[in-house]
Structure 1
Amino acid sequence: MTAQQIQETRLENASNSAQGNFYSSPSGFIESTNPLHNPEIRTEIGRYLKKSALACCASVCWEWNRTFTPLLYSIVEITKMTNTNPPIETFRRNKSFIKSMAITTDTLDSKYSHLLMPNLETLKLHLKDSSNNTEPMIQNHKNIRSLDLSCVSTNDKIMFWESVASLPHLEELTIRDQYGHETDTMWDICSSRLKKLNIFNSQFRGLLAFTGTGTSSIGTADFHLLRDLTISKCGFHATIQPVLIMKCQNLERLVWKIDLFDRGTTTEIATLFQGFTEILASGKWPNIKSLAVGFNLVSDAAYAEFVRALNNRTLEEFDVSMTQFGELAFSALKCRFSTLRVLNIRKCPNLTSANVLEILASCPHLQSLTVDRIYAQYLDPNQEWPCRKTLQSLSIEFELGQEPKLDEPSAATVMETKPQKLNEIVFTCLGQLRELKHLSINYHELDIYSRQNGVVSIPLEIQLSKGLGELVGLKRLSHFSMGVLTDSLGPGEVDWMLRNWSNLDILEGFSNSTTEIPMERAVKQKGITIKLNT
């Protein structure tokens, strides 16, 4: 027996003696009563562990190694930080376990492009320089279903897209930061194979040249399989993007973002949006359930008409962030509250605290909400929000000062409730959201807003003496983001978070001074990631 085998035996014996009891079955075999001796149970537990915990579990004994190593290497990443990348021998030894690989480097090293991973299904290539190693990297992995390409340029674009076309199971394609790198083969792949297509910050000659009567692939293709389409920051070309969207008749999810940086005039963008609204009202895209539409020069009234154009469709996800979406459009959206699961109305300056509160009080199936702010003076600690049983992600800013009413002389009246009490009320209201996994109460932009409008800002204070203890029931919380609020944070508060939020993975928003608190060591020992304010 080798020294390594002896060590493994000792670890296994120590694990067995510490983990449970054994009994003799009628057949004479020794069986354990400890559930951790069951590989299926260990595998299920492993699905919820972080990389560091999986690595520890894999080193306990041979049986545990066999359970946790496949989970540890199912998702791998190669970055520019070469000292943090596992040795190539490690990849070769565990290549059969790798299902997802992300490579974010300047160029693609041939040692990775020729690595054969038989079960690879997701590949992300975010490269900076041209490389001829991308073709073999793609061709050697026929089980790829999802391909994400960023700044990928090769010496032979025809060969590159033919290598992509050789993937028989490809369903999802993401293209980022590409300019004039497409071929007819690329559009054939998009139209005949894909269920999901994402295009970010890219421009293609075929798209730019197409006017509705051309002969390019996009002009004659039928994207009937496509269910999910994203077009964002791809330049304003009024006759082109709508043509692509129109061809996707079976869409269930659409993300379409156009703003000032896309070089369209106010009139052009308004006309495009009106045409889109009219087509939507005519019954096009009957299966659409998720919409993220960003036309930042379009009026509130136009957005109201757009919402009404949905007619009897069931809307589950809606994103109109960074637009003029306001009171008129909000009123039109109310009839959709019963089905909404995801809502993003961040940076919509025409919405008020009353609108945010109505969302919380009227959306029983809401799972994710992203808004700017709500003034705590409107919160009722005795009101139960219907979404308390479903909400998993909340991004919001709480303001303890008085909401400005610029059109009323009474705007400067003294508030009836003091900030100390409002601070406690905020935590009382948040405490009912027991399903929260992500909570962000950032204050990155409120100070700028306040200075511009002459408003006195009173931010929330994260202190146990001011109500933080009301969040003791948020046992599922894994990501807590505080922005500049950590100025009020002390070691006692961090210690309380560590003791009461057992699923916590990320604490975000620390400044350089608050990272020096005594609890930093404990945070690191528990494997929690600390993210600093930038």
Structure 2
Amino acid sequence: MAGTWPDLEDLDLVESGASDPQLALIFGGMRRIHGLSITRTDLGIQTRAALRPHFPWLTNLDITMNAVYTGKFVAEVLRSCPQLENLKTDRISVDYFLDGVPWACEKSLKVLEICFEVLPRMRSEDLGPLLILLSRLRNLERLDLTDPEASLSNILSLEFRLDKGLEQLATLTRLKRLVIERTIQESTMEDVEWMINHWRNLKCIEGTLNTEDKDESAKLVSKLQAAGVEVWPWKRR
């Protein structure tokens, strides 16, 4: 295929069934990859090696629901793709980002769909390096922490609370949509007021703001709606 269309720059391979060597052959034959959707497949060693030469031009990447764990590769992508604007990927441990290595795409990234998995043993101060990395994404417009393959039970992820480091994200002034579906959140009125005052472009929040207190969550929703922010409750899809 790549040999037939050598100028192909965008490719959608959703559930292609191609093997790791086959994918590597396709990507290795392309001159430049700008956009790639490669879901429900085998992003193996050979495929990852074939993708690395395209890192300088990659702008859009969707590698969700892969047959192999892609955490380490995702960290490499963030650190190596200076033009990346959209990244959609599976759950990844925050351990990959606690060394604070800068992301090459910090000036270009607009959409980040990634579930940062936080272990119960982690304290809020342990997440400081990750929050610093996120704070540098000054052009970010959508932040989605949902894991599409997660069970219906809530999972530990980033909590949007001031006592959990929320104030470090004051730089995300272009943020329009925050998705926190299937994550444990215990936001308070103080946290919501902070969001309203600092994220002036915020248009929508998807998910439950306080998963431990339904009455409190309802109050937070009312506050946001009064400020012109839509709040979509999580629904089983």
TM-score, normalisation: structure 1: 0.41
Q: Which of 356, 359, 370 is matched with 2:77 structurally?
A: 359
Give the CA deviation at 1:443. 4.1
Q: CA separation of 1:346/1:520 partners in 2, compared to 1, >3 Å: closer, same or farther?
A: same
Amino acid at match of 1:390: S
Q: How do 1:143-158 residues align onto structure 2 when only pairs under 5 Å count?
A: none
Shift of 1:420: 3.0
Q: Is the aligned partner of 1:499 residue 2:197?
A: yes
**CA deviation profile, 1:343-400 (whole Å, cap 9, x unmatched):** 1101113143210100000000000000012211121454221100000000000112
Q: Does the 8 Å contact 1:479/1:504 carry over to 2?
A: yes
2:148 paired with 1:428:
no
Letter in 2 for 1:333: L
In our comparison, the structure showing a higher alpha carbon Rg is: 1
Q: Figure out how many residues of one structure are paired with residues of the other and give that number.
A: 232
Q: Secondary structure at the match of 1:366?
A: coil
The answer to whether the Cα contact below 8 Å between 1:424 and 1:466 also exists between their aligned partners in 2 is no
2:8 maps to amino acid? I
**In the TM superposition, what are the counterparts of 1:269-418 in structure 2 within 5 Å?**
277=1, 280-281=2-3, 284-310=4-30, 313-380=31-98, 382-401=100-119, 418=122
SS in 1 for 2:83: coil
Cα deviation, residue 434, structure 1: 0.9
Given that residues 389 and 433 in structure 1 are in contact (C-alpha distance below 8 angstroms), is that contact kept between their aligned partners in structure 2? Answer: yes
Q: Name the SS of the counterpart of 1:521 in structure 2.
A: helix
Q: Which has the larger share of helix?
A: 1
Separation of aligned partners in 2, 1:448 and 1:508:
16
Q: Which has the higher contact order (CA 8 A, sep 6+)?
A: 2
Deviation at 1:470, TM superposition (A): 1.1
Asked if 1:527 corresponds to 2:228, the answer is yes
- Give the SS at the match of 1:487: coil
> What is the DSSP-based 3-state SS (H/G/I as helix, E as strand, rest coil) of the residue aligned with 1:533?
coil
Shift, 1:300, TM fit: 1.7
Assess if the C-alpha contact under 8 Å between 2:36 and 2:61 holds in 1.
yes
Instruction: Kindly indicate whether the alpha-carbon contact (under 8 Å) linking 2:205 and 2:232 is maintained by their aligned counterparts in 1.
Output: yes
Alignment of 1:4-83 (within 5 A): none
When the two structures are superposed, what TM-score results if normalisation uses the length of structure 2? 0.87
CA distance in 2, matches of 1:381, 1:375: 13
**Can you list the C-alpha shifts for 1:257-305, whole angstroms capped at 9, x where unaligned?**
xxxxxxxxxxxxxxxxxxxx3xx22xx2243221111244322222111
**Distance in 2, Cα, partners of 1:300 & 1:351:** 14
- What letter matches 2:138 in structure 1? R
Check if 1:437 corresponds to 2:118: no
Structure 1 residue 498, shift from structure 2 partner = 0.8
The alpha-carbon distance between structure 1 residues 375 and 422, as it changes in their structure 2 partners (threshold 3 A), is farther
Q: Is the 8 A contact 1:326 1:348 kept in 2?
A: no
Q: Which residue, 479, 482, 485 being the options, matches 2:180?
A: 482
| SS of corresponding position for 1:427 | helix
- Aligned-residue Cα RMSD (Å) equals 2.5
Preserved contact between residue 114 and residue 146 of structure 2 (Cα < 8 Å): yes
1:431-468 CA-to-partner distances (Å, cap 9, x unmatched) read: 11111001101145334799xxxxxx643322211111
Contact 2:100 2:129 in 1 (8 A): no
Mark the runs of 5 or more structure 1 residues left unpaired by the alignment: 1-276, 403-416, 451-456
State the alpha-carbon separation in 1 of the partners of residues 98 and 231 from structure 2. 33
CA contact (8 A) 1:400 1:422 kept: no
Bigger mean CA deviation after superposition, 301-310 or 472-481: 301-310
Runs of 5+ in structure 2 lacking a partner? Answer: none
Question: Does the 8 Å CA contact 1:490/1:517 hold for their aligned counterparts?
Answer: no
